[in-house]
Chains A and B, each alone.
Chain A
Amino acid sequence: MSDHATSPVSWHSWLTTTSPESRRQAKLGQLYRQWLAFKKNPAAVVGLVIVLALLLLAAFAPLIAQYDPLAQALDQRLLAPSAKHWFGTDALGRDIFSRIVYGTRVTLVIVMLVVITVGPLGLLIGCAAGYFGGWIDTVLMRITDVFLAFPRLVLALAFVAALGPGLENAVIAIAFTAWPPYARVARAETMIIRNADYISAMRLQGASQMRIVLKHIVPMCVPSLIVRTTYDMAGIIIIAAGLGFLGLGAQPPIPEWGAMISTGREQIFDQWWVATFPGIAICVVALGFNLLGDGLRDVLDAR
């Protein structure tokens, strides 16, 4: 196999071969074909680049930001963008560019925590409801309806108000309000495939209900949930920013984008940069996730 690694041409043929020799090769080949399809969509590639840039900014924040995001310099308050402070400074003399760069970490932490709690929860509830049907379906879906009946931001607000403001509580509140659509998507998907012959065939082989749901139904629902998640990230970022803006999310002095806009609103007419740059950051990242979601849908959810 070492000779494959030497030239890119044989890598390509190794990955696209129609008769792979191992499980791993088949899996990698499948991924590679999806990547080739993904690459054809320029908007999706732009989305991917934005998301990768976000990840890199978060990872290398200390190297990229020239200033400490928390360091106040009251003699340098509200400076306009310049070579020294690219995005200007805020009311406490903190460098806005550095705060935005560090803010990527806060945003990513919120998004990741929400996604790892919401994805599996929605998937399991949806698949169980869809596969078993009957009263299990009724109970689970009515609970879902209750959560869906409230506007997301309002429900999140209620949760944060009850739990107390803070980053962790914001994550919990967003997660609580974000799972119902996932359960709905997974349920709809499951109801389509639960009567498929390949699921009947599994039943006929004596597979337990658990095994059918986890090993055969869940893999069919995962792609549409990944797509849904990527779309939702934009919404999650905006809700997190909204909670921050209302002072219920990340608490000062944490550099959270929504909170930064909130503190900048008093100066919005005289010192426009304080609120504008975090706003642009939220907008670009939300757009990036949306474009990525579009591309992933075409590749993963193709029918």
Chain B
Amino acid sequence: MQLTKYGFSHAVSAFFEMPTELAKNLLPRHLQPLEVQHGSAVFAVTAFDFTESMVGTYTEIVLAVIVPPLLEAGQQFPKSAFYPYLVGTNTPESRAHAIERWHLPHHMADVDCDFAVEGGAMNVRVHDNDKPILEMSVHEHEWGKTNDLYQAFMTDEQKRYKVDIHMNGEFSEHEEESGSLKLHNHPMLEKLEPAEINTYPFRELWMKQGMQTFNELETI
């Protein structure tokens, strides 16, 4: 099996409730949003600071909707499954790589992620030549090593894809609702209705000094 690895210093993710009907608008027809409670789907924002990859170092912001994982008898249960509906990176090479290899939809201009640790919180500022896109903060909890399986779903005009992703590294996760999200008026967020997305996460995940390993892309 061909594995593709991406080393990172930080991977920060937060899950925010959004109306299910809005989440459905972001998904292809073959996927349904996973509801955290009735009428509330999950908008996931994940920021990476990649330090090692086939395309060098880069930062990445992933906007996704959480969906039910694809389970098969006898297989491991993924921790979560994502449909990344839009990805932003700060290098053309990383964009081209992710589009070609993983069929991930991208914002086609450079987008930067600034990471700043402050008093047990990671503050991520995403911007486009200093034009703000979003600000997110995630707070730490207890740290421990983990190696979790995730799934990501992609699609293009002809096919539907799935890839299994293993996340290995130092990991903190909690539901203390201590983080925050601020969405700005920016073309990257035009598919969203910021007023309908919670400004605080119900789940906060933070990984440090880890490795993201993609299995081979599967057509489903």
Decide whether A and B assemble into one complex: no
